Amino acid sequence: MKHLLSIQDLSAGQINTVLKTADSFREVGTRTIKKVPTLRGRTVCNLFFEPSTRTRISFELAAKRLSADVVNFTGDAKSSLSKGESFKDTAQTLQAMGIDAIVVRHASAGAPQRLSGWVEASVINAGDGAHEHPTQALLDLYSIREHFPSFDGLRVGIVGDIVHSRVARSNARALRTMGAEVVLIAPPTFLPPAVDTWGVSVSYDLEAVLPSLDVVYLLRVQRERQNEQLVPSLREYATFWGLDLRRVNRMRPEAVIMHPGPMNRGVEIAAEVADLDRAIITDQVTNGVAVRMSLLYLMLGGLNSDRDRAREAPARRATDPAQLAFEQAMAEVEPALG
């Protein structure tokens, strides 16, 4: 697979491959020296036209732990949108510099797809407008998988501003691909048009649905959406769709709470709920690095370069247990790779 533009680019088998491979990389993050030589000599560019410190750092750490060189390019979304040619110019500049992979975040839906048509490098979508955020979906699946034996029949409620949420789009698709059931829970103004075509169920009533959910996935409510009059007030939103302790008590005992961050404490999630053990929000962050390592490894031909390296320097390979672990994992899952 050359690019990751949408979670739809991945089959269930490929998603499993990414998650399995991430298991080995998670272990790397617990070591004193959190680094493997897998992508030595490769260059990854984080091209962020929209500020997102946490996603950028997660990708940067992932690339660095694989020994890739990382360059960060922070574009100005406003100037890019006002004179669009600069986006293609930037792409061609990166192309000329021999970048191997571009991790792109952009306020405009479809920007990664446009970019992939202009460069030789692999393009990874790190969030494009309200379209998709596929790596977020992968890390969320990884985090869910740590708590439940299977996605089959799992019931996941996604709560909040679905219409503007790339996280909701990617997660709903990924979860359905893996066999889980998705319920979107929001006021009607937060639901996308033609939501009946999403293959999910819909509820306006969080309280009624809560007892049936295995995962309660809360979305950030953008304060700037207030101007659009989608809900009368944030307070009213919190009253009906916010997760507080009283509502947590209606949840199944084994159900977990997730959030892509950053959180609006007191709006979609009460402060004390965010601190509960069953809120696995920090695990999501930790897993983000491992899952992104897994992706970069699989996409940047880590597979091939490992084989090449094995031929060139078998000694180093033998002494690196992490490397051995990946290769074992890869041997198992390689047939599933597209």
Report the interface residues with other proteins, using CB under 8 A: 80-82, 84-85, 87-88, 106-111, 113-114, 128-132, 164, 166, 169, 192-195, 197-198
Q: Which is nearer to other proteins, 26 or 131 (CB)?
A: 131
Smallest gap from residue 15 Cβ to other proteins (A): 19
Q: Of 65 and 131, which has the nearer Cβ to other proteins?
A: 131
Q: Shortest gap between Cβ of 98 and other proteins (angstroms)?
A: 22
Q: Are 118 and 88 in contact (CB under 8 A)?
A: yes
The minimum distance between CB 297 and other proteins, in angstroms, equals 28
Q: Alpha helix (H) ranges present in 156-249?
A: 166-177, 206-209, 234-241, 245-248
Question: In Å, how far are 21, 34, 125, 126, 300 from 303, measured between CA atoms?
Answer: 11, 20, 21, 22, 8
Between CA 192 and CA 209 the distance in angstroms is 19
CB 26 within 8 A of CB 145: no
Least distance (Å) between residue 131 CB and other proteins: 4
Q: What's the CA gap between 297 and 39, in Å, rounded?
A: 7
Is the sign of the CA dihedral 163, 164, 166, 167 positive or negative? negative
Residue 256 CB-density burial (10 A; 0-12 exposed, 13-18 middle, 19+ buried): buried
Angle between helices 12-28 and 321-333 (to 10 degrees): 170
Instruction: Say if residues 90 and 71 touch (Cβ distance below 8 Å).
Output: no
H/E stretch holding 103: strand 101-106
Residue closer to other proteins, measured from CB, 90 or 143: 90
Smallest separation (angstroms) from other proteins to the CB of 121: 18
Nearer to other proteins, 39 or 102 (CB): 102
Give dist(CA 72, CA 91) in Å, integer. 13
In the complex, what is the shortest distance from the CB of residue 52 to other proteins, in angstroms, rounded to a whole number? 16
Closest approach of Cβ 281 to other proteins, in Å?
24
CB closer to other proteins, 225 vs 265: 225
Shortest distance (Å) from residue 19 CB to other proteins: 24
- Pick the closest to residue 281 from 130, 139, 131, 126 (CA basis): 139
Q: Which is nearer to other proteins, 187 or 266 (CB)?
A: 187
In whole angstroms, how close is the CB of 165 to other proteins at the nearest point?
A: 8
In 3D, which of 245, 273, 285, 308 has the Cα closest to residue 62? Answer: 285
Residue whose CB is less far from other proteins, 226 or 286: 226
Cβ closest to other proteins, residue 29 vs residue 192: 192
**Nearer CB in complex with other proteins: 16/86:** 86
Which of 214, 213, 206, 126 shows the shortest CA–CA distance to 170? 126
